[in-house]
Structure formats: structure tokens, C-alpha cells
Amino acid sequence: MAIAAVSIAPIGEGISVSRYVAAALVVARDQDRVRYRLDPMFTTLEGELSEIFALVQRMQEAVFAAGALRVSTVIKIDERRDRPARMEEKVEAVERRLGQRGSAAR
């Protein structure tokens, strides 16, 4: 099981890229093999690594199909082989540690 952060963005398409992000997320939404979560800077994906790679490729193609002529894709992968990993567990582990030390600065 792997967790991946992916950023897919067109180059040279202006300041706002939300329509391109939305095109990529339609692809993620319309499948059921890889879990996803939209974050402000990346989309987090969770699933089998081969399925994540295939999904990222389809998401990138969707950005091209939306009119981009050049696309930059950044992928960061955390793959565990000792036990399944979940997006929520990674966040909860840090939140537990923050709770042990008092409230976090906001």
C-alpha cells in the first residue's frame, strides 16, 4: 500500500489553474481503486502503487485534454511494506504527538 502526493499543473496557462486541477480530479473521482483527497497544494492518493501510477497518468492526460500544451507533474511516494498505511493514520499520529505536548500554534 502506498500514499502519494501529486501535483499536476499546466505551464504557461495563466495564474489560475483550478480548471485544470478540476479536470484531473474528475478522473480521480470517476474511479474506485485509489482513494484521494484534495489538499491546497497537492492531491493525496492512497492505493496500490501500480494503480496510483496509472491514475496519475490518466489525470495528467486530462489536463492536456483540458487544453494545456505543457504539464508539470510532481509525485512524492511513501510506500510501506510492513503494514498497510492510511492517509488518516499519518495525520492522526502527528496530532497525537501534538496533544502530548499541549496545543499547537495556529
Task: Indicate which CATH number applies to the domain containing 78.
Answer: 3.30.70.930
The 8 Å CB, 24+ separation contacts for 78-83 are 78/2, 78/3, 78/4, 79/1, 79/2, 79/3, 79/49, 80/1, 80/2
Give per-10-residue mean pLDDT for the chain (106 aa). 96 95 98 97 97 98 98 97 91 91 54
106 within some domain: no
- Number of separate domains in the chain: 1
Q: Could you tell me the CA-to-CA distances from 29 to 55, 56, 90, 98 in Å, in that order?
A: 11, 12, 22, 32
The answer to the question of residue 85 being in a domain is yes
Please give the pLDDT value at position 94: 93
Domain hosting residue 64, numbered range: 2-100
Would residue 72 count as lying in a domain? Answer: yes
